[in-house]
Amino acid sequence: MKPTIIISAFVVAAVLSYSFWPDGEKTSAFDHVESVEAAPLAMVLLPDSLSQHAQIGKLGFEAKCASCHGVNAAGKDGLAPPLIHKIYEPSHHADESFQRAVALGVQAHHWRFGNMLAIEGLTRGDVTMIITYIRELQRANGIN
């Protein structure tokens, strides 16, 4: 056989092998959003009304957080945890922990969803409003 045919066959085999090689284990479910329709992880009771700040926070949550953390912070199976959960009560995760998570990202420590990347485009004031929304949802669900 001619060397060019052998080399060409080798290159084709390498390219095909690479293209069909399975992706490695994903290091973070927060790094991407594949499952937009993932099942919620928590049943969230909604309060009768939201304060004005929480209403603003809800808009910010829906724009920047809900794609991973789900509608009304109920979480998404296989993607991100529910924020309406005892783990996120104020005595365990103070408001500043949410601020830091948004600004710096977070390494997985309570859940097996992977690391959360920092979220761009939110100011501390925006996050304060989002936290107000989350805290009002938590209180409506007996998380104080």
User: What does pLDDT average to in each consecutive run of 10 residues of the chain (144 residues)?
Assistant: 55 43 40 61 96 98 97 95 96 97 95 94 98 98 96
Residue 6 lies in a domain: no
CA distance 127 to 121: 10
In a domain, 19, yes or no: no
Q: Count of domains in the chain?
A: 1
Q: What is the pLDDT of residue 33?
A: 46
What's the confidence (pLDDT) of residue 29? 38
Please report the pLDDT score of residue 38 as a whole number.
86
Query: CATH number for the domain including 119?
Result: 1.10.760.10
Instruction: Provide the residue range defining the domain that includes 63.
Output: 28-140
Q: Is residue 70 part of a domain?
A: yes
Is residue 38, in this structure, part of any structural domain at all? yes
Task: Evaluate whether residue 23 is within a structural domain.
Answer: no
| Residue-level pLDDT at 6 | 53
The reply to whether 84 falls in a domain is yes
